[in-house]
Chain A
Amino acid sequence: MIALPGDMRVRLVTALILVVAISQLQTIPVAATVLAAAVTVAVMSGIGGKAWLRMLHVETFMILLFVTLPFTVPGRAVLTIGPFDASAEGFTRAAVIACKVSASVLTIVVFLGSVEAMRLGAALHSLRVPEPIVRLFVLTVRYLSVIGGEARRLQEAMRARAFRPGSNRHTWRSYGNLVGMLLVRALDRAQRVEEAMLCRGFSGRFPWQKPPRLSRSEMGFMALATTAAVLITAADRL
């Protein structure tokens, strides 16, 4: 088990530096090494089983990428299916992308997977992200759970009235009404929230807590991550 820094700013900046470096790798030895390192760190920092499942979540076009790349990248043919030749270079390219995507997802899960979105807002603010964006972020996080609950209740009410979703106009219309209702209630709620905020003297800015200064070990950790990022980039290009 290793303990990563708890400070959100450190986690955010470290994750960003590492993912930027990982996303631009081009050679398979470096990409594979980085993936192995990411898996090791993920195991040692004890991320949960649910977090590992995220790696399996491949978007539709990711699958397509792995199916088509061997055939579209020109190079030495190693496999022939009908009129199509799969090239060794194509397989390598697909493998590099797979390593990079997985290593990036793991990095994000390790550094940001267990954070509360609310704390992330404060970190974004102390990293000088424009204040209105941060305010939008924390309020969206806050009301997502409230409105998500409302959406669940509306869907339950539909099910209780024998609604069964299918690919037909009735379903689309019903879901459209659901979304419309959700928006009407959201606007009503926004009105109440605005009034409540004005009552309590909201002047257009939240009073953010002053963030603590970074400790020497936290600075050291970020320096270490930056060095790692520079090293893998150098190893990749040289």
Chain B
Amino acid sequence: MAHIPDGILSAPVLIGGAVIAAGGVAMALRRLEDRMVPRAAILSAAFFAGSLIAVPVGPSSVHLLFTGLMGVMLGLMAFPAVLVALLLQTVLFGFGGLTTLGVNTVNIALPGVLLGLALGPAIRAASPGRAAMLAAVCGALSVAGTGALVALSLWLSSPVFVPVAKIMLITYLPLALGEAAVTAAAVGFLSRVQPAALRLVAT
């Protein structure tokens, strides 16, 4: 749902998205130690594998984004991790596109990174129960942020997309619900079993 294909967005939106994505990736790479790359890669493979699970919500099922949790565990590294995952999905499954790689990276990674920065310290310090609650907020808000950014990309491309964007935002509701519930359970689990796992991997 969050993957906008080639051929819909206008050139200024595509270029703007690519520039912001490049900035985010560059910032992450500048702080990255070389020996942290395998760790970041294996974690992003785990998030990728997790997002392939179809989670039933109401009458439909959704594939979760896990960007809130990525923001907590990877910090800024969520930018390159999402970029790599999107490139893989374009090549392997044909989801998303080449020209939209930048925009899609920003739409998906940015809310998670910001919420991870904002809520991460509180989540790491909290008791398992409270950490799970905060993680639910983090998950739901990062999905909502992605929905808003996708809608914004469509609106900035052409005003005729506005009704579509509005209807599409409704489809993000079940995703946000599922994301909140599963992220909460995952963080609760990590917080009980291996609190050190919630530490930032890099940066």
Q: What residues of chain A have their CB less than 8 Å away from a CB belonging to chain B?
A: 15-16, 19-20, 22-25, 51, 54, 57, 59-62, 64-65, 68-69, 71-73, 90, 93, 97, 100-101, 103-105, 108-109, 112-113, 115, 117, 120, 130, 132-133, 135-137, 139-144, 146-148, 150-151, 155, 165-167, 169, 171-187, 189-190, 193-194, 197-198, 202-205
Known: A73-B160, A132-B34. A167 touches B56 (CB 8 A): yes
By DSSP majority rule, is chain B's interface helix, strand, loop, or mixed?
Answer: helix
Question: Per-position contact with A for B1-27: 1 when CB-CB < 8 Å, else 0?
Answer: 101111111010010000000000100
- B178: chain A residues at CB < 8 Å are 172
Q: What residues of chain B have their CB less than 8 Å away from a CB belonging to chain A?
A: 1, 3-9, 11, 14, 25, 29, 32, 34-35, 37-46, 48-50, 52-59, 66, 69, 73, 80-81, 83-85, 87-88, 90-95, 97-99, 150, 154, 160-165, 167-168, 171, 178, 181-190, 193-194, 197
Please indicate which of the listed interface residues A73, A186, A193 has the most CB atoms of chain B within 10 Å of its own CB.
A186
A65 engages B164 (CB within 8 Å): yes
Please indicate which of the listed interface residues B9, B90, B189 has the most CB atoms of chain A within 10 Å of its own CB.
B189
**How far is B201's CA from A194's CA once the two chains are assembled, in angstroms?**
13
Q: 28 interchain pairs (CB within 8 A)? A: A16-B99, A23-B97, A24-B11, A57-B94, A61-B150, A64-B164, A64-B168, A69-B160, A104-B98, A108-B90, A108-B94, A108-B97, A136-B41, A140-B84, A141-B88, A165-B55, A172-B178, A172-B185, A175-B53, A177-B185, A179-B53, A180-B185, A180-B187, A185-B46, A193-B42, A194-B38, A197-B38, A202-B35
A136 engages B37 (CB within 8 Å): yes
A130 engages B29 (CB within 8 Å): yes
B38 engages A190 (CB within 8 Å): yes
A115 engages B45 (CB within 8 Å): no
B34 engages A115 (CB within 8 Å): no
A201 to B: closest C-beta gap in Å: 13
For the A-B complex, the count of residue pairs with Cβ-Cβ distances under 8 Å equals: 250
A143 engages B41 (CB within 8 Å): yes
- B164: chain A residues at CB < 8 Å are 61, 64-65, 68-69, 72
Known: A23-B6, A73-B160, A190-B38. A133 touches B80 (CB 8 A): yes
- Of the candidates A93, A147, A202, the one whose C-beta lies within 8 Å of that of B46 is A147
A140 engages B85 (CB within 8 Å): yes
**How far is B8's CA from A20's CA once the two chains are assembled, in angstroms?**
11
A24 to B: closest C-beta gap in Å: 6
Which A residue's beta carbon lies closest to that of B42? A190
A205 engages B34 (CB within 8 Å): yes
**How far is B163's CA from A69's CA once the two chains are assembled, in angstroms?**
9
B99 to A: closest C-beta gap in Å: 5
**How far is B39's CA from A202's CA once the two chains are assembled, in angstroms?**
14
B107 to A: closest C-beta gap in Å: 13
Known: A132-B34, A204-B34. A109 touches B88 (CB 8 A): no
**How far is B44's CA from A79's CA once the two chains are assembled, in angstroms?**
49
**How far is B120's CA from A224's CA once the two chains are assembled, in angstroms?**
51
- Of the candidates A54, A104, A155, A172, the one whose C-beta lies within 8 Å of that of B182 is A172
Which B residue's beta carbon lies closest to that of A71? B163
Which A residue's beta carbon lies closest to that of B167? A64
- Of the candidates A133, A139, A186, the one whose C-beta lies within 8 Å of that of B29 is A133
B30 to A: closest C-beta gap in Å: 10
